[in-house]
């Protein structure tokens, strides 16, 4: 067993095996991701039940919105690739390259947010509010804005974290481990979007 797989018990000073052989900070990120997945699961289930219980549920998304959602998917999945390139560069101790790709990921996150805000502004312009809309079930706006808003808040939080961790990493105070742990969060944001697109956009496509 390598030294990296051991942790010192702060009370006894005895070296013991790390749980799951990963750093505790990485385990904490995994636990956060799991709890966040349940949070998103809860609001998506709630949306599903409200949608099924409403016979006049609106289906307002025209093909332009659907292509916009596909473009957002492309940007977010590409940002997952760029953060992986950053992690790889950090593991190879190429700090300049790792920082550059971390910032590319942050820019892609901002592009995703801009496209999302454009979608919001378009819907608000059509008269959609949290508890009213011109088409039918009034809760459509509440569910749409809460699901996509929570996701967008995660993206914005991720962008701030990418910039902060990237800058600290470049200054030499963080290591590859920090970029890798942040990348887990960023991939999780991507995974959530994979469920939002079919459930929120494709299921509510105008036909």
Partner 1 sequence: MNAEEKSNGMTATYIVYVVILAIAVFQVLFAMMAGPQPMLMLLLAFLQASLAVNHFMHLKQERPSLFFALIPYTLFVLFMMNMIWSDSFRLLHMRTLAK
Site residues (vs partner 1, CB under 8 A): 20-22, 30, 34, 37-38, 41-42, 45-46, 49, 53, 63, 66-67, 69-70, 73-74, 77-78, 80-81, 84-85, 88, 92, 183-184, 187-188, 190-191, 194-195, 197-199, 202-203, 205, 207
Q: Which residue, 174 or 188, has its beta carbon nearer to partner 1?
A: 188
Least CB distance to partner 1 at residue 143 (A): 14
Burial class (CB in 10 A: 0-12, 13-18, 19+), 81: middle
Q: Which residue, 17 or 157, has its beta carbon nearer to partner 1?
A: 17
Q: Which residue, 75 or 159, has its beta carbon nearer to partner 1?
A: 75
Q: Which residue, 71 or 171, has its beta carbon nearer to partner 1?
A: 71
Least CB distance to partner 1 at residue 90 (A): 13
Q: Which residue, 85 or 111, has its beta carbon nearer to partner 1?
A: 85
Least CB distance to partner 1 at residue 13 (A): 25
């Amino acid at each position: 067993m390598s030294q990296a797989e051991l942790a010192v018990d702060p009370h006894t000073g005895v070296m013991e095996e790390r749980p799951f052989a990963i750093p505790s900070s990485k385990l904490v990120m995994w636990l956060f991701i799991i709890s966040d997945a349940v949070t998103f699961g809860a609001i998506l289930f709630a949306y599903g039940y409200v949608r099924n219980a409403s016979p006049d549920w609106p289906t307002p998304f025209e093909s332009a919105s659907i292509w916009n959602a596909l473009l957002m998917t492309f940007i977010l999945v590409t940002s997952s690739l760029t953060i992986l390139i950053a992690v790889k560069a950090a593991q190879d101790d190429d700090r300049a390259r790792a920082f550059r790709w971390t910032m590319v990921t942050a820019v892609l996150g901002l592009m995703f947010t801009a496209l999302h805000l454009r979608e919001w502004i378009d819907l608000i312009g059509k008269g959609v509010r949290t508890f009213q809309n011109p088409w039918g079930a009034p809760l459509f706006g509440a569910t749409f804005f809460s699901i996509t808003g929570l996701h967008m808040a995660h993206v914005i939080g991720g962008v701030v974290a990418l910039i902060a961790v990237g800058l600290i990493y470049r200054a030499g105070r963080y290591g590859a481990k920090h970029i890798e742990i942040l990348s887990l969060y960023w991939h999780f944001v991507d995974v959530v979007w994979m469920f939002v697109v079919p459930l929120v956009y494709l299921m509510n496509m105008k036909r």
